[in-house]
A and B are shown apart, each in its own frame.
Chain A
């Protein structure tokens, strides 16, 4: 989607239909082949589902779970036990499995999210370990020997031509799991997920409840793993050794080896790892050595896995065909003539109340020295309020307190007359507060357009549940179109429209700053807090950014501008507050602050 080389857009649906047709032909072939091959297809499809589900959490939100074998085991055991001992209908068991394992996933996710990175992997690893140990020790799970699973019902007679039912079932299950993840990937939730993974403050400032989204995605992933467990029960025997911690690690290997955070990578990895040992018939030890050597060779040569290899081949082929796109020279454009992004009009709030009002703010990190000492700070509506002072004077800390990332030790904050002291970041966003961060906190691997989409998180109703079937929901298509228009308007507004499809890692610093500004202003916030938006811009770019801010102000937005270069601040701002060593040195109209001797001294040093 964001690659420099891609096919014309019109051919994408055609390719998709072609791929589906090919898949159906393969399924027909598999359903008519030998039992041996059908067994292999079943296992490969089940592991494909597991890899796809793990990629959802590992690739999109950065949670490297080793609990998936455990979740898988719950699905398989529950299916077998409910069928064998309680004689439930298999197709009643399926939704129970999805919901039940999903719920276990929510719980596991909520507990494990206390820790991150390696410790998340370890906690979920222990979950798998304990489950399999219990499965081997208890009677109702059949101990080490396990249980004999149910048999999948045959097709009715009018469908006999289709072949073996279970083969179709597992391939359709894999397809559905893949399509759900693909739907999320093309939905506006995808950039938000990646922001939660790579730039959490950005996602939170856009109003996304990051912890809840993480747990929710983990729950969905667990549900898919539970579905894979249901499917796996038909494979014959369900026993503890099939769900050991090594299986968890293997699923992660499939994802990484295939290509993490890609649509088909995890499936390729799963097919390779399940089919290779079964199909390569040499001395079993040589075979395993070769298998291991392939792991090392592939990942060392292509750290992004099989998909990295495919991309290389693809690019090569396209270049041969001469389809490579000419490089477009881009620059900052003149911004669109008028402010297209009008702030939401306030209803109910007293018009006289200032945009932001801080009283007696005291703050320190832990038991460290005071960072802010009784700071009073008031921003009037529809003005640009400069916040300046030397590095380390507490500017960014004050802004973090206003946006809710930090809580003050003492003092109170009101936004448009409403006290927000008890509210978190996401709630304050709903009061119309948006912010940017020092040195552009964005998702590098996404395009500028997708990054701006993150900023619009709150503008898409029920994004989470709808993302599961995004491409086929009519209202979602409308939303997608509207979203895209809004994003492009916003990018035009800051004068970076031509950069929309370019990955942020490949844009110059100034454009990244403007993209951040577009993301923060796209949804029409009434108050905009900008932390050094001019840092690193060339003089021409600074002028350009200043004109954007003036236009935002004209449309009624209140702006807090942290800046390090006093020259621009005094020219641009209506009022200025100077902080030094955590205290307000001067505050008031720009002209008077500028003439203040004390302020000059702050900059002189003594």
Chain B
């Protein structure tokens, strides 16, 4: 049981990172970047390629993440900004970001070939025992890093001026403009950060999947489902969604049968969405209001307008 939980967390952390990538870009621009999964692939492919050319594997991994971030920003500038400038409410970005996904996936296959290639193993050999369960060092690092990154992001969003600006743009982009915010720059930065999250997920999963131009599909969809579970109100919720998805998949795999991991998590997601159509975290708002109202009764501040 513990083994299921921990293995689930390890794979769920990857889903969560990709899900947060979707969420961060969506948070600022209200656009789902359908090339998000392909950004994970870019991270993996670039890192693997650089390692093969003899670059230090650690450096290769860092460049891989940076490459994913750069491609993310370019995606915004080339495929998203022009269509939003025409009509902020159209869904034309669906077509253009899918186009980018096609270009990235097949471009990678053109450059590096369509087959799986090796990925530099950075953390090998050691396994970690937690109670009755055993995890590889790779898995432990993945879980740890994902949780740290999610918390760090949330702190960054709330505590730095740039993070606060992101929140402001998410809430009311026009008002943010009227306060001097260059929303295009912030949006491009959000896409770059979303790319970096996917790239990080890529180099963490790379040692297990190897480098392959078609990785984007699998992890893209899982990340998207993680986003749905968490809802779009706060990006870090997608990490919780990802972890939950990972555990559900692993549990279905072990406890039902191997095929069940394909459908069981989704059935759970359907149930969650039917009950809470705006994601698991749509509960947070009403709960907080309930608590706040109780605390306000004793506070001297007037609430009524």
Residues of A within 8 A of B (CB): 58, 64, 111, 114-115, 118-119, 122-123, 126-127, 129-130, 133-134, 136-137, 245-246, 249, 252-253, 256-257, 260, 283-289, 291-296, 298-300, 303, 368-369
Tell me the nearest residue of chain B to A133, going by C-beta.
Answer: B263
Please tell me if B98 contacts chain A, counting CB pairs below 8 Å. yes
Tell me the nearest residue of chain B to A297, going by C-beta.
Answer: B99
In the bound complex, residues from chain B placing their C-beta under 8 Å from that of A64 are 91
Question: B99 to A299, Cβ gap below 8 A?
Answer: yes
Question: A296 to B79, Cβ gap below 8 A?
Answer: yes
Question: B267 to A293, Cβ gap below 8 A?
Answer: no
- Can you give 29 A-B contacts (C-beta < 8 A)? A64-B91, A111-B274, A115-B277, A115-B278, A123-B273, A123-B277, A133-B263, A249-B34, A253-B98, A256-B92, A257-B95, A260-B91, A283-B110, A284-B106, A285-B109, A285-B110, A289-B102, A289-B103, A289-B107, A289-B110, A292-B100, A292-B101, A295-B99, A296-B78, A296-B95, A296-B100, A296-B103, A299-B99, A368-B305
- How distant is the Cα of A202 from the Cα of B104 in the complex, in angstroms? 45
Please tell me if B139 contacts chain A, counting CB pairs below 8 Å. no
Question: B273 to A299, Cβ gap below 8 A?
Answer: no
Please tell me if B221 contacts chain A, counting CB pairs below 8 Å. yes
- How distant is the Cα of A513 from the Cα of B263 in the complex, in angstroms? 54
Given A129-B266, A288-B102, A296-B100, A303:B110 Cβ within 8 A: no
Q: Among the listed A246, A289, A291, A295, which residue makes an inter-chain contact with B96, where contact means beta carbons less than 8 Å apart?
A: A295
Question: B92 to A299, Cβ gap below 8 A?
Answer: yes
Q: Among the listed A115, A257, A291, A368, which residue makes an inter-chain contact with B102, where contact means beta carbons less than 8 Å apart?
A: A291
In the bound complex, residues from chain B placing their C-beta under 8 Å from that of A119 are 273, 277-278
* A441 CB → nearest B CB, Å: 17
In the bound complex, residues from chain B placing their C-beta under 8 Å from that of A137 are 259, 262-263
Given A114-B277, A129-B266, A369-B304, A252:B94 Cβ within 8 A: yes
Please tell me if B168 contacts chain A, counting CB pairs below 8 Å. no
Interface of chain B residues 31 through 83 with chain A (CB within 8 A): 32, 34, 78-79, 82-83
Tell me the nearest residue of chain B to A246, going by C-beta.
Answer: B217
Question: A126 to B269, Cβ gap below 8 A?
Answer: yes
In the bound complex, residues from chain B placing their C-beta under 8 Å from that of A122 are 228, 273
Q: Among the listed B99, B100, B104, B263, which residue makes an inter-chain contact with A134, where contact means beta carbons less than 8 Å apart?
A: B263
In the bound complex, residues from chain A placing their C-beta under 8 Å from that of B259 are 136-137
In the bound complex, residues from chain A placing their C-beta under 8 Å from that of B269 are 126
Question: A295 to B95, Cβ gap below 8 A?
Answer: yes
Please tell me if B172 contacts chain A, counting CB pairs below 8 Å. no
In the bound complex, residues from chain B placing their C-beta under 8 Å from that of A118 are 32, 232
Interface of chain B residues 239 through 294 with chain A (CB within 8 A): 259, 262-263, 266-267, 269-270, 273-274, 277-278
In the bound complex, residues from chain A placing their C-beta under 8 Å from that of B100 are 292, 296
4 A-B pairs with least C-beta separation: A295-B99, A292-B102, A288-B106, A133-B263
In the bound complex, residues from chain A placing their C-beta under 8 Å from that of B266 are 126, 129-130, 133
Give the residue among B99, B104, B267 with the most A Cβ atoms within 10 A.
Answer: B99
In the bound complex, residues from chain B placing their C-beta under 8 Å from that of A303 are 83, 86-87, 90, 92
Q: Among the listed B86, B106, B109, B263, which residue makes an inter-chain contact with A292, where contact means beta carbons less than 8 Å apart?
A: B106
- How distant is the Cα of A435 from the Cα of B200 in the complex, in angstroms? 56
In the bound complex, residues from chain B placing their C-beta under 8 Å from that of A287 are 106
Please tell me if B114 contacts chain A, counting CB pairs below 8 Å. yes
Question: A256 to B91, Cβ gap below 8 A?
Answer: yes
* A4 CB → nearest B CB, Å: 20
Question: B107 to A300, Cβ gap below 8 A?
Answer: no
Given contacts A127-B270, A133-B262, A299-B92, 17 further A-B contacts (CB under 8 A): A119-B277, A126-B228, A129-B266, A130-B267, A130-B270, A136-B259, A136-B262, A249-B98, A256-B95, A286-B106, A287-B106, A289-B103, A289-B107, A292-B104, A303-B83, A303-B86, A369-B305
* A68 CB → nearest B CB, Å: 14
In the bound complex, residues from chain B placing their C-beta under 8 Å from that of A293 are 99, 103
Tell me the nearest residue of chain B to A64, going by C-beta.
Answer: B91
In the bound complex, residues from chain A placing their C-beta under 8 Å from that of B102 are 288-289, 291-292, 295
- How distant is the Cα of A480 from the Cα of B99 in the complex, in angstroms? 43
In the bound complex, residues from chain A placing their C-beta under 8 Å from that of B106 are 284-289, 292
Give the residue among B34, B82, B114 with the most A Cβ atoms within 10 A.
Answer: B82
In the bound complex, residues from chain A placing their C-beta under 8 Å from that of B221 are 245
- How distant is the Cα of A289 from the Cα of B111 in the complex, in angstroms? 12
Tell me the nearest residue of chain A to B85, going by C-beta.
Answer: A303
- How distant is the Cα of A298 from the Cα of B114 in the complex, in angstroms? 27
* B32 CB → nearest A CB, Å: 8
- How distant is the Cα of A294 from the Cα of B98 in the complex, in angstroms? 11
Question: A286 to B95, Cβ gap below 8 A?
Answer: no
Residue interface bits B151-178, CB-to-A below 8 A is 1, else 0: 0000000000000000000000000000
In the bound complex, residues from chain A placing their C-beta under 8 Å from that of B90 are 256, 260, 303
Question: B263 to A294, Cβ gap below 8 A?
Answer: no
Given A114-B277, A292-B99, A296-B100, A286:B110 Cβ within 8 A: yes
Q: Among the listed A115, A126, A289, A300, which residue makes an inter-chain contact with B79, where contact means beta carbons less than 8 Å apart?
A: A300
Give the residue among B94, B217, B305 with the most A Cβ atoms within 10 A.
Answer: B94
In the bound complex, residues from chain B placing their C-beta under 8 Å from that of A127 are 270
- How distant is the Cα of A284 from the Cα of B102 in the complex, in angstroms? 12
Question: B83 to A299, Cβ gap below 8 A?
Answer: yes
- How distant is the Cα of A286 from the Cα of B44 in the complex, in angstroms? 21
- How distant is the Cα of A289 from the Cα of B104 in the complex, in angstroms? 8
Residue interface bits B100-131, CB-to-A below 8 A is 1, else 0: 11111111011000100000000000000000
In the bound complex, residues from chain A placing their C-beta under 8 Å from that of B32 are 118
Give the residue among B87, B103, B304, B305 with the most A Cβ atoms within 10 A.
Answer: B103
Q: Among the listed B78, B105, B228, which residue makes an inter-chain contact with A288, where contact means beta carbons less than 8 Å apart?
A: B105
- How distant is the Cα of A119 from the Cα of B282 in the complex, in angstroms? 12
In the bound complex, residues from chain A placing their C-beta under 8 Å from that of B96 are 295-296, 299-300
In the bound complex, residues from chain A placing their C-beta under 8 Å from that of B91 are 58, 64, 252, 256, 260
- How distant is the Cα of A33 from the Cα of B119 in the complex, in angstroms? 49
- How distant is the Cα of A508 from the Cα of B104 in the complex, in angstroms? 47
Q: Among the listed A134, A136, A285, A299, which residue makes an inter-chain contact with B95, where contact means beta carbons less than 8 Å apart?
A: A299
- How distant is the Cα of A114 from the Cα of B232 in the complex, in angstroms? 17
Question: A300 to B110, Cβ gap below 8 A?
Answer: no
Tell me the nearest residue of chain A to B80, going by C-beta.
Answer: A300
In the bound complex, residues from chain B placing their C-beta under 8 Å from that of A283 are 110
In the bound complex, residues from chain B placing their C-beta under 8 Å from that of A123 are 273-274, 277
- How distant is the Cα of A257 from the Cα of B95 in the complex, in angstroms? 7
- How distant is the Cα of A303 from the Cα of B96 in the complex, in angstroms? 10
Tell me the nearest residue of chain B to A292, going by C-beta.
Answer: B102
In the bound complex, residues from chain B placing their C-beta under 8 Å from that of A368 are 304-305
- How distant is the Cα of A249 from the Cα of B93 in the complex, in angstroms? 12
Question: A292 to B103, Cβ gap below 8 A?
Answer: yes
Question: B95 to A253, Cβ gap below 8 A?
Answer: yes
- How distant is the Cα of A303 from the Cα of B228 in the complex, in angstroms? 27
In the bound complex, residues from chain B placing their C-beta under 8 Å from that of A126 are 228, 266, 269-270, 273
Question: A295 to B274, Cβ gap below 8 A?
Answer: no
- How distant is the Cα of A58 from the Cα of B95 in the complex, in angstroms? 15
- How distant is the Cα of A126 from the Cα of B279 in the complex, in angstroms? 13
- How distant is the Cα of A114 from the Cα of B275 in the complex, in angstroms? 10
* A28 CB → nearest B CB, Å: 34
- How distant is the Cα of A442 from the Cα of B79 in the complex, in angstroms? 32
Tell me the nearest residue of chain B to A126, going by C-beta.
Answer: B270
Question: A294 to B99, Cβ gap below 8 A?
Answer: yes
Tell me the nearest residue of chain A to B32, going by C-beta.
Answer: A118
In the bound complex, residues from chain A placing their C-beta under 8 Å from that of B114 are 285
* A136 CB → nearest B CB, Å: 7
- How distant is the Cα of A296 from the Cα of B305 in the complex, in angstroms? 48
* A260 CB → nearest B CB, Å: 8
* B282 CB → nearest A CB, Å: 10
Tell me the nearest residue of chain A to B260, going by C-beta.
Answer: A137
* A391 CB → nearest B CB, Å: 14
* B85 CB → nearest A CB, Å: 9
* B110 CB → nearest A CB, Å: 4
In the bound complex, residues from chain B placing their C-beta under 8 Å from that of A58 are 91
Q: Among the listed B34, B82, B228, which residue makes an inter-chain contact with A300, where contact means beta carbons less than 8 Å apart?
A: B82
- How distant is the Cα of A133 from the Cα of B105 in the complex, in angstroms? 24
* B107 CB → nearest A CB, Å: 5
